[in-house]
Chain A
Amino acid sequence: MVKYLCIGFFALSTLISKGEIPAETIAKHANQIDTLVAGELRNRRLKMPAAANDTTLCRRLYLDIAGRPPTSDEIREYLKTKDRPALIKQLVNSEGYVHHMYSFWADLLRVKRNLNDNVGQLYGDAYIEWLKEQIRSNTPYNKLTKNLLGANGNIWDNPATGYLLRDLGMPLDNLSNTTQIFLGIDMACAQCHDHPFDEWTQMDFYKTAAFFAQVQTKNSQGGVKEHIKGLREEAKKMQTNGKKGIENKLNNYLRTIYEYGVDSKPNGRLRLPDDYAYRDADPKSIVYASAPYGTRVKESRNKSKREKDPHNLRRSFVDWVIADTNPTFALNITNRLWNHALGAPIISPMNNVMEDGEISVGKNRRLMEYLPKMFISVNYDIKGFLEIIYNTKTYQRVSWQGDLNDYVFQGPISRRLTASQLWDSFITLYLDNPDSVTPNYSNDQYKEMSRKDISEVTLQDAIDGLEKFNSLQKSTYSGLPKMGPWYAVRASHVNRPSNNLNVLIEFGRSDRRLVDNGSTEGSITQLLLLMNSPLVSALSNRNSALVKKIHSCENDTTKLFTLFYSIIGRSPTQDNVNTFKPYIAKGQYQDVIWALVNSHEAKFIN
């Protein structure tokens, strides 16, 4: 029932060896993108806006690539050379890029420290750090996807299992997210009934979900479950005071260390729901997997083959997803990355790029055909793909501030900083080098703990282990610098309920319960925070890097420039100079910082 638009992927076998994309390739692709954008503008008889000035662009590049604004020194440094390709190169290779892309991935994959919404305690620590490492080492996107969807093992050994464990106990929800995240296909409605827009039937959904029928989101090796149960029973019998009720905590701890993981069960089957209401099959009957569109991939009906290699079914799905020939795999991610850079996707909504069984036209069809091909030709290199976009004239134009109906990528959209960018801009003011502070993650130690054979764990071992686990958890942020009541760490290090998290959530950081659930809407409580919370006084106290810098400035003019550069990335106008001069002269920096932090420019990327 689903026909799809074959967008004619040409075979691109020009394999580029590992490493960076050559400058001439970047320039060639950037140029082609600009041509395609210009073509669409011509078609619609729209004007091509001017290029952005250097200070605006410098702030934009830092925020968009490193997730934070430049410091005053970094702006001055850039203005010496104005070498844009060099700045882009420097930023995509910085640790800031890892922090900023982590927000992108965590929002998309719904990554949380307390990873699962259903079970009490399933720590995502290992998964989080693994994901950051993939960003740092720039794992090709097809390989990253394969690692996530195909992972097996205990979460401490193979943290990529976090993707499936995220929805432990809710495999159908997981699948419904998977098609949105990796394919840009929204089948959520079909989970319960045929799609109201006639695109997907409930049977389509179940056939796709059946690829995961043999997945088991628990480590079943060596009787883990039975051992944990035994230790739990033993703990229950302890009646000594103070240890009362410890069995639940022990149980959570033992499961965290030993039980969570992904495996395959030979006899796993998916059946239709009790209330399946369509004529093509009976309720509760077995569903055999087959891919919903593209190359037809089907489950073998051979039972012994199925049971002999229980990983095979899921593997065949993953191979289908990541194939160059899959019509939406590269398209989905390039649409998302384009949105990440420009502020708007080509096809909207990003979670559903198909319409009536065809790929949607979007805001620029030819561009949307070109980007996936280009991405495949650079071997699914995410960092390289973004580097190309940041080098386009399109990205480097003045920001679009008008009606979105007239917008066909005349430049990036003027937009509010995300909660993470805003938080990280305060941290940058406070620390100057915000990447210098890292919490004490203890993943190696947890992994070490999980090494011990569960059958040899005594009750006392388990109690000691729980204690150690708790103390490691508690020490995560200990010894870190504080900015007012908050830990001065970048947003990507804030992963559990804490004061910091509340600030981030106030400004709309995704709670990571749903795909891309962040928001940049304003609220009164946000502004109460900017106006009256301890934030401004913390930024103005003697531990603040910004204040130290001001004190080292030679004269009032440099002080004023440093404050404007640091907080809003531009020099003061004549009016600003006249208004602010008396405050600088009297050393009333807190009033100045208050005004700049509360300005519109501090909250927006232009």
Chain B
Amino acid sequence: MKRKDFIRSTAYSLFGVSALGQSMGAPIKADPNSKVKSVIYIYLQGGMSHLDSFDPKENEEIKGTTKAIGTNVPGIQISEHLPKLAEIMDKIAIVRSMSSTAGAHKQGQYIARTSYQLRGSIIHPALGAWAAREVKRETELPGYVLISGPSNHPGAGYLPKKFSPLPIVDPNRGLANAKTDPKIDERLGLLNSVNKTANVKQPKIAEYVQFYDETLKLLNSSELNVFDLNKVDSKRRNDYGMNKIGQGCLLAKRLVKQGITFVEVENGGWDTHVNNFDKLSQKLPEVDTAVSALVADLESEGLLDSTLIAIATEFGRTPKINTNTGRDHHPAAYSSVLIGGGIKGGVVYGETDDRGQKVKKDKVTPQDFNATIGSALGLPMEKEVFSPSGRPFHIAGKGQPIKDILL
């Protein structure tokens, strides 16, 4: 195809949206028969130590003060900081053979979120943006919500902005600016008077007319309540833990129940170069409480089979304990976790050596991990998609789903 033909085939548009939509080819759709309807993707920023969480070791030199405990699945041990998850190990699949090529945070996080390497000339979409684009949903709410996300999150990447995540800065405060002034109706009367002279046929103004309608609809909608954790009784809130990840998971559950496809809960503080053991003895129990409460809650609502929970991070930590009682970056081997919809429970996939240094068996890349999530959700992982600049991509890059842990 000649460039001029390519350009001609995309309507001339200065304003992006329509031209972008067309150059992306016909919309491709997720498998409507997939049992999994939603994903709760928990991302631990900084690199969670695999050795002190899901892949504990016996070696004295390596384990530090972390002890391993048994689980409800004979033969599988995890860290003592995760006792509640140990009791529901039969629902959990641990991938112990994760391995990435990126040893720095920005690059590692970018690959984990997008399945592509960080470049200076393109931004790839995060997995949630693909889910928002491909999966049909019943709710008026957006398909992708990002809780406590960082400012450098790739979001929709080269996809149209409408697939960007709806940001929730703090789960305790819910959707920002959602409280309307009681005089709204009077004010709208004034606004109508001013807008009488505006040319609503101007296409961009017409779009804003529509956005105002949608915003007012949202503000009047009962769906808005799902963002408000003050509506939840305090016992339930305490079950998840009164901290960011706990409340983030609780909000995620409410959003998934409402029909939102992809909820990403981000959590910082995992870069434990200093005082690794003290820090993790606080952080890991938070995850333990939040995720076990989430699993129980989804199960009691009958949503666990249709909701996939993922715990991801950019890399693991070094077996060697540094002079600051910390552990440094270790992309060669680390762990990630999948629970619930579409996933076999009580499974450990892959294996590291007895130091936790290298992957011994069944290496899994971040792309493979994303392909597994996408595949469970029924996303068209094989389909080639073109960016607006005409470059070909796949949703999870070259990743292949881990068949052994998919139901």
- A contacts, CB < 8 Å to B: 110, 117-118, 166-167, 170, 173-174, 176-177, 186, 188-189, 191, 196-199, 236-237, 239, 244-245, 248, 343-344, 348-349, 352, 355-356, 401, 404-405, 413-416, 497, 501-502, 505, 508, 511, 513-514, 517, 519-529, 531-533, 568, 573, 575-576, 579-580, 583, 591-592, 594-596, 598-601, 603-604
Contact = CB atoms under 8 A, between A and B. Distances in A.
Nearest to A239: B323
Instruction: Among B164, B204, B207, find the residue whose CB has the most chain A CB atoms closer than 10 A.
Output: B204
Contacts of A579: 189-190, 193
Given A404-B13, A527-B212, A599-B198, A604 B205 contact: yes
Contact of A245 (B121, B324, B389, B391): B324
B4 A356 contact: yes
Contacts of A501: 151
Residue from the set B121, B219, B389 with the largest chain A CB neighbour count within 10 Å: B121
Contact of A514 (B122, B198, B390): B122
A343 B13 CA distance: 12
Given A118-B104, A604-B205, A513 B123 contact: yes
28 contacts: A118-B104, A176-B121, A188-B121, A189-B389, A197-B3, A236-B323, A244-B274, A349-B7, A355-B4, A415-B204, A502-B151, A511-B152, A514-B120, A522-B208, A523-B164, A524-B218, A528-B178, A529-B176, A575-B193, A583-B190, A592-B190, A594-B191, A595-B187, A598-B191, A599-B191, A599-B198, A600-B200, A601-B195
A599 B151 CA distance: 29
Contacts of B12: 348, 404-405
- Please classify how large the interface on chain B is, using the bins under 10, 10 to 19, 20 to 34, 35 or more: 35 or more
B106 interface: yes
A595 B191 contact: yes
A401 B202 contact: yes
B230 to A, nearest CB: 17
Interface in B78-137: 104, 106-107, 118-123
A576 B121 contact: no
B360 interface: no
For the complex of A and B, the 10 pairs showing the least CB-CB separation, nearest first, are A173-B120, A245-B274, A595-B190, A197-B3, A528-B177, A600-B198, A579-B193, A532-B177, A599-B194, A401-B202
Interface stretch (B14-22, B25-33, B238-246, B287-295): B14-22
A595 B194 CA distance: 8
A245 B187 contact: no
Contact of A528 (B121, B123, B176): B176
Given A521-B15, A532-B177, A170 B120 contact: yes
Interface of B: 1-4, 6-7, 12-17, 104, 106-107, 118-123, 151-152, 161-162, 164, 166-167, 175-181, 183-184, 186-187, 189-191, 193-202, 204-205, 207-209, 211-212, 214-215, 218-219, 273-275, 323-324, 326, 389-391
A497 to B, nearest CB: 5
B107 A118 contact: yes
Nearest to B392: A196
A562 to B, nearest CB: 15
B275 A244 contact: yes
A315 B44 CA distance: 46
A522 B195 CA distance: 17
A118 B118 contact: yes
Nearest to B11: A405
Contacts of B167: 525
A522 B206 CA distance: 11
Residue in A197, A237, A413, A576 whose Cβ sees the most chain B Cβ within 10 Å: A197
Contact of A575 (B16, B119, B186, B196): B196
A117 B323 contact: no
A524 B140 CA distance: 12
Contacts of A591: 183, 186-187, 190
A117 B120 contact: yes
